[in-house]
Structure 1
Amino acid sequence: MTSVANIIASAATVEQRSRTMLGDTITFGEPTDITTTCDSQLSTEPWQIDTEPGYGPGASTNDEAPSTAPHQGPIPAEYTDASEAELDARIIAAKETLGDRLKILGHFYQRDEIVKYADFVGDSFMLAQAAKDHPETEAFVFCGVHFMAETADILSDEQQSVILPNLAAGCSMADMATIDQVEEAWEQLMQVLGTSNDERAEVIPVTYMNSSAAIKAFCGRNDGIVCTSSNATTVLEWAFERGKRVIFFPDQHLGRNTAKAMGLTEEQMPLWRPYLPMGGNTQQQLEDAKVILWNGFCSVHKRFTVAQIDKARADYPDVTVIAHPECPAPVVEAADGVGSTEYIRKAIEAGQPGDVFAVGTEINLVNRLQAQHPEMTIFCLDPVICPCSTMYRIHPAYLAWVLEGLVEGQVHNQICVDATVATDASVALERMLAARP
C-alpha cells in the first residue's frame, strides 16, 4: 500500500484536495410543520441533497447559506448503493489496513453509525487538541464540520493531513460571520471609537471556536483570541485586562450568557447586526458597551425554551436541567447547570441511579448518554427531533469512501488552510490554549 505520507506529499499535484462548489445565497421559507421531526427530509440520504444549496434538513434548514458554503460532489455509486453491513465491513477493513497512521475523530453530535468507528470522541476543542497531541499520525479523518477540520489542520503538523468525509458538513453559526463582514465591522468600530489614549485597546476581538479559520486569523492579527464554551469566562477576563471592550462573534448567546454571569448588564451588551451601519447601534451605545455581540446563533440550541423546562419540571419534579451556553439567556437562567458538551457529559456521569436529567443540547449526544446510562432517565428538552443539519451529513458511505481512498493512494476532501491564515489563526488559538479555566 502507498504510505499515507506519500499520498499527502503528492496531493498538491492531483485533483485530490477539497473543492468548494459555489452557489447563490439562499433564503429559505417557513419551517415544515412536522410533529415528530423538524423536517420531512431528515431521513433522506445526504448524497441526495448534498448538491443542493443550503444546509439541508435539520435545525438549520431555514438559515441563510452564504455563497461560499461548500457543497459535496457525488461519490461513486458503490458507496451510496452499499448496504449498512457492507459499509461496516469496508470501513473496518480500511481502518485495519491503515493502522496507526490513521486516526478518526468523532464529534459528540455525530450519529452513532459514525461514532462507533472513532478513535477519539469529544467536542471541537477536544478533537483539535487530539490532532495536536498525535504528531505520529499521518492522516486525521474528522467526522465533524468544516471549521473543526480547519482548526485541526492549523494545529496539526504540515506533513499531516486532515480530511472531512463530506464537504457539505458546514456550520450555519460559523457562516453567520464572514471575514468581509468582520473586517467591515472592525473598520466602523475604529472610526467610531478611535485610538486608545492608554495601554488598553479600545476593542479586543474574541471569536468562538465555531468560526472560520479566516476569522480566527483576524483575531490573531488584531491582538485577539479564540474561546471555547469551557473557557469563555477566562477568555473575557483575559480580554478585559487588555481592552476596554470586546467584540464577540459569531454566537451572541454564548457571549451574552458568559458576560451576564460576570455581572454585565444587557445595556452593556449591544447587538451588532452586520447589515446595518454601526451594526444598528448609536455611537453612544458602542462607547458604553463592554461586550458587542455579533448577531449569530446555533440553530439547534436556539430551539430550547423556558416552557420546555417548565414542562420537564412538571413531569419530573426532581429533574436536573442542564443547558449548553449556546442556548438563549432565559433558558440558561432557568437551568440548574450550564456548560459545554464535555461538562454535560461529566455532569451526567456523576449522577446516581434513578436520577433524571433534561438536557438542552443536540439530540445525538442526549440519546447516546441515555443509552450509556440506562439506570437514569435522560431526555432532550426539545420534544421535536431536530439534529444539527450539517453534522448529520457525515454518513458511513462518505467515511468508507475517504478511507478506501487512502488505502488506494488517494486523498479525498483534504482540508488545507492557507499558510498565512494558519499562521495568524494559530496565534489566537495558542492564546486560547493558554487560557485555562
Structure 2
Amino acid sequence: MSSLPLLDPSVDHALQLIVTGASTEETCTTDLAAGPWDFDTRPGYGPGSSMGDVIPTGAPRQGELPAAYRDASEEDLEARIRTAKQALGDRVVVLGHFYQREEVVRHADYVGDSFQLAQAALDRPEAEAIVFCGVHFMAETADLLSRPDQAVILPNLAAGCSMADMADIDQVEDCWEQLADVYGPLDVPDAEGRVPVVPVTYMNSSAAIKGFVGRHGGIVCTSSNARTVLEWAFTRGRRVLFFPDQHLGRNTAKAMGVPLERMPLWNPRKALGGSTAEQLEDARVLLWHGFCSVHRRFTTAQIDQARAEHPGVRVIVHPECPMEVVDAADEAGSTAYIRRAIEEATEPTTFAIGTEINLVRRLAAQHPQHEIFCLDPVVCPCSTMYRIHPGYLAWALEELVAGRTVNRISVAADVAEPARVALERMLAAKPEAASA
C-alpha cells in the first residue's frame, strides 16, 4: 500500500484518472466518475460506499438539474459559484462538511463536522440563506438551530444518509412500545430515581428521531462527546437505547467498562429486537442495528497490511468503525480528534487513517511533511456526500441571486421543539474537566 503524491486532494480527479486508465488505483465503482444527476431519478443512495444499502420508500429525490449546469466545465462552475457568492455577499453562508468533495469545500465559508457547521450558521445572523453542503439530517439540524426566517438549502435533495435512514421513526416507536412491555412504564423512576431506559441518538439521525429522544427524556451525542453523554444517561436510567450507529455505541460503552454480553443488538425486524426478555432485563446498552457504510469498509487486514508496509505507522480510525478495527488501531477518535492528532505531530509521521477518503486526501495535501493515506486502498467516497456537486451548488446560489429559494429544508414545529430540547441537553452535558 502506498500513498499518492497528493498535491491534488481532489477525489474526483483521481476517479477520472482511474476511469481513463491513467491511474492504477482502484475504485469501488467507475460510476463515481459520472455526474450525480445521472442517478437522481433512480431510487438508491447512488454510487459509492452506501450503494448496496436499501433506501426507504419515499426518500427525497432531486429534480432534474438544468443542462447548463450538467454540461459546464469545472472551471466554469467555479467561476459561476464565485460570482454568485460575491453578488449575494452577507446574505448567504455556505457550509461544507469535511467529507465533501474538494471542488465544493473550496467555496465553503465554514468547513467542519455536522454539529460544528450547524453552530457555525449561528455566527452569521445576517445571512438570509444557509446553503448546507452535506446531507439531509445535517440540513435539518441547521434548520433546528437557525432563526425561523433563515432558509436552509440542501443543494441536492438526494443527499441523504443511509445510517440515519436505518433508524426509522415508526420502528423506533415500535421498539419503545416493546421495551415498555418488558420494563414496565418507561417514564416512572425507581427508588434510586432512574427510569428503565434512556434513549440516546447520534447526531447522524433524522429530526424525527431527535424529536422522539427529546420527548422521552433522552439526549443527542456526537462522536466527540459520546462518552460524556452516556455518563449523563446512566445517571438517569438503568439502560440506554442507542441509535442509529451500533459501532459508536459499542465502542464507547466498551471503553467505559460495559461488558459485550450486556450490549444486545436490537434488530427492528425481529420481536424484542431478536433478544429474550431476560437478555433485555440484564442489558446496559441496547444497540440499534445501524452502521455507517463508509466506516464499515475498514478491516483489521487493512491495518495489518499498513503495519507490514509502513513500520512505525500510526493508525487512527473513527469510532464508527467496527469494534475489532478500533481495537486493532493505535487510536480511535472523532474527525476533530483525527485532524488534531495530525496537526500536533511535530515530527514527520506516517499516518494510516480510517475515515472518509475526501477528508484523508485533504489532510494529506495540507500536511505534506507527513505521509498520510487512507486505510482502505479502494477509492470509495461517501455515496450521499458525493451527491453534492459544484453544479448543484452553482444552481442553488444562482437561484438565490434571481430571488428564488430552492430545496429548502424545514422541520415541522411539533418535531423541532422536542428535537431542540435533546440538542440543548447535549450542549449542557459537559465532561467534568470542562465544567470544573
Aligned equivalent of 1:324, options 297, 318, 323: 318
Pairwise CA distance, 1:131: 1.6
Runs of 4+ in 1 over 6 A off after TM superposition: none
Aligned counterpart, 1:436: 430
Residue 63 of structure 1 pairs with residue 35 of structure 2: no
Superposed, which structure 2 residues align to 1:114-133 within 5 Å? 114-133=104-123
1:7 corresponds to which residue? none
Give the secondary-structure state (helix, strand or coil) at the position aligned to 2:117: helix
Q: What is the letter of the counterpart of residue 197 of structure 1?
A: D
Match of 1:89 in 2: 79
- Tell me the TM-score normalised to structure 1 length: 0.91
Give the match for residue 37 of structure 2.
47
- 1:22: which partner in 2? none
Deviation, 1:81, is: 1.2
Give, in angstroms, the shift of residue 118 of structure 1. 0.3
Query: Does residue 297 of structure 1 match 2:287?
Result: no
Between the aligned partners of 1:363 and 1:396, the Cα distance in structure 2 is 18
CA positional deviation for 1:352: 3.0
Q: Is 2:93–2:124's contact at 8 Å kept on the other side of the alignment?
A: no
Which residues of structure 2 form unaligned runs of 5+? 1-23, 432-436
CA distance in 2, matches of 1:165, 1:330: 37
1:362 to 356, 362, 366: 356
The answer to whether residue 201 in structure 2 is matched with residue 201 in structure 1 is no
> How many pairs are equivalent?
404
Alignment of 1:183-262 (within 5 A): 183-195=173-185, 196-198=189-191, 199-262=193-256
Structure 2 CA distance, aligned partners of 1:50 and 1:433?
36
User: What amino acid is aligned across from residue 312 of structure 1 in structure 2?
Assistant: A
Looking at structure 1, the residues matched to 242 and 173 of structure 2 have their Cα atoms a distance apart, in angstroms, of 13
What is the DSSP-based 3-state SS (H/G/I as helix, E as strand, rest coil) of the residue aligned with 2:229? helix
Q: 1 CA distance for matches of 2:124 and 2:268?
A: 39
2:434 corresponding residue in structure 1 = none
SS in 2 for 1:126: helix
Equivalent-residue separation in structure 1 for 2:418 and 2:123 (angstroms):
20
Query: Partner amino acid for 1:100?
Result: D
**1:248-397 mapped onto 2 (5 Å cutoff):** 248-397=242-391
Shift of 1:354: 2.2
**2:71 is the alignment partner of 1:78:** no
Query: How far is the alpha carbon of 1:310 from its aligned partner?
Result: 1.0
| Offset of residue 238 of structure 1 | 0.3
Contact between 2:104 and 2:389, CA under 8 Å: does it hold in 1? yes
Correspondence list, 1:12-23, <5 A:
none
State how far apart, in whole Å, the 1-side matches of 2:27 and 2:272 are: 39
Amino acid at match of 1:424: P
Q: Tell whether the 8 Å contact from 2:198 to 2:218 is kept in structure 1 after alignment.
A: yes
Aligned-partner residue type, residue 233 of structure 1: R
Structure 1 CA distance for aligned equivalents of residues 339 and 107 of structure 2:
20
Deviation at 1:229, TM superposition (A): 0.2
* 3-state SS of paired residue (1:42): helix
Distance 1:159 1:436 in 2: 30
Instruction: Supply the AA of the counterpart residue of 1:94.
Output: A
* Residue of 119, 139, 144 corresponding to 1:154: 144
User: Secondary structure at 2:235's aligned position in 1?
Assistant: helix
Secondary structure of the residue that 2:26 maps to in structure 1?
coil
2:100 is the counterpart of 1:107? no
Q: CA deviation at 1:434?
A: 1.6
One of 401, 408, 413 as aligned partner of 2:407: 413
Counterpart Cα distance in 2 of 1:51 and 1:342: 35
Q: Please give the alpha-carbon distance, in whole angstroms, between the structure 2 residues aligned to 1:161 and 1:393.
A: 21
8 Å CA contact 1:168–1:390 kept in 2: the answer is: yes
Offset at residue 35 of structure 1 (A): 7.6
Give the match's secondary structure for 1:41.
helix
CA distance in 1, matches of 2:55, 2:183: 32
The whole-number CA distance in structure 2 between the counterparts of 1:228 and 1:136 is 27
Write the deviation string for residues 165-196 of structure 1: whole angstroms up to 9, x where unpaired.
00000000000010000000000001111134
Indicate the residue corresponding to 1:8 in structure 2: none
TM-score by length of 2: 0.91
Structure 1 residues 383-430: Cα deviation after superposition (integer angstroms, max 9, x where no partner): 111110000010010000000000000001000110111111000011
Give the whole-Å Cα distance in 2 for the aligned partners of 1:78 and 1:376.
41
* 2:400 counterpart letter in structure 1: L
Gaps of 5+ in 1: 1-33
Q: What amino acid sits opposite 1:251 in the alignment?
A: D
Q: Distance in 2 between matches of 1:270 and 1:81?
A: 50
Q: Is the 8 A contact 1:352 1:376 kept in 2?
A: no
RMSD over aligned CA atoms reads 1.1
The residue matched to 1:242 in structure 2 has which SS?
coil
In 2, the alpha carbon distance for the partners of 1:167 and 1:107 equals 16
Alpha-carbon distance, 1:132 to partner: 2.7
